[in-house]
Structure 1
Amino acid sequence: MIFLRYLFALLYDAFITLALLMLATGSLFVVVPHELVNEHAFLYWLYLLGVNFLWVGYCWTRTGQTIGAKCWKLAVKNQNGLGLSWKDAFKRYFWSVWTVPTGISLITTLILPSRQPIQGFLSKTRIQLLRKLS
């Protein structure tokens, strides 16, 4: 069932994302004073979103898989079954930022006939099951 695989892949990737964002924050504080980051919180959030996009965008455009997706035998493809371009990856990421934290993306895997998360529908991408888990 794609719902459970998708859920567990999200959980795996959440831990990796957390570690990556902690590293990005630590490296930012080496260069920029903490007080300045607090004064410009919006820019700080854009920085974190950018760092996260570079990671998932690289994974999606290179192999179509984040680490969580590899573990659960999932891949992100465009509607033609081909790998994502950076433009496709950006569209999917943009919609994911809004739908994953709210739980909408998980709910739509249960509701939509295609069993795909809503960000795939909105970005014209899809999650493909690669093979059965052994």
Structure 2
Amino acid sequence: MTQTNSRPGPFRQLMAMLYDLLLLISTLFIAAVIPVVLNGGEAIHSGNPIFFFYLLLVSLFFYGWFWTHGGQTLGMRAWKIYLVGQDNVSVTWKQAGVRFTVAIFSWLFLGLGFLWQWLGKEKKSWHDILSDTKLIVMK
């Protein structure tokens, strides 16, 4: 497979996100078992901020691990998308953390942070800009 400097299109990115979302939901279901067991088998209240923060950390670890160990989540691998730093180097945990955090805000602003890569002149999403990373297509 050869690396190109071309950016993945919206369909390819959306499909990779969908694949990863399915994997993340499965991971979160498994991760949610641990607090329930520690709570004596009782359900965790939906508004529990500690449980929410725990699931957020599991999500960060899910994406961060893939991004820092090979530059691809499983969804990205299926769609031949690769995450690298601006100089085509591996992504660090700091970059992964910034990217994950800013991506949450991109969604909270109704996806504007994602759409920015097709609206802005830099052709980069908010999380690309602030984490100093970029997505490329592998051929």
Q: TM-score range by the shorter chain?
A: 0.7 to 0.9
2:25 to 18, 24, 32: 18
1:116 to 114, 121, 124: 124
Conserved 8 A contact 1:120-1:126: yes
How far, CA to CA, are the matches of 1:95 and 1:74 in structure 2? Answer: 19
Q: Which residue of 1 aligns with 2:88?
A: 81
Partners in 1 of 2:25 and 2:127 — Cα distance? 21
Bigger Cα displacement from structure 2, 100-109 vs 70-79: 100-109
**1:56-85 CA distances to partner (integer Å, 9 max, x unpaired)?**
111000000001100111011111110111
Letter in 2 for 1:81: N
1: CA distance, partners of 2:35 / 2:105: 25
Question: Structure with the greater relative contact order (CA < 8 A, sep ≥ 6): 1 or 2?
Answer: 2
Residue 134 (structure 2) aligned to one of 102, 119, 126: 126
Runs of 5+ in structure 1 lacking a partner? none
Structure 2 CA distance for partners of 1:72 and 1:114, relative to 1, 3 Å: farther
**Percent of paired sites with the same residue:** 24
Give the match's secondary structure for 1:100: helix
Contact residue 2 and residue 115 of structure 1 kept, 8 A: no
Cα distance in 1 for partners of 2:78, 2:23 equals 13
Q: Using the alignment, how far apart are the partners of 2:85 and 2:107 within structure 1?
A: 19
- Shift of residue 98, structure 1, vs aligned partner: 1.6
Q: TM-score scaled to structure 2, two decimals?
A: 0.84
CA 1:113/1:72 → structure 2, altered by over 3 Å: closer, same or farther? farther
Name the amino acid aligned to 2:111: G
> What TM-score, normalized by structure 1, do the two folds share?
0.87
**Equivalent runs, 1:49-68 vs 2, <5 Å:** 49-68=56-75
Alignment CA distance shift 1:39-1:9 (3 Å)? closer
Separation in 2, partners of 1:69, 1:115: 19
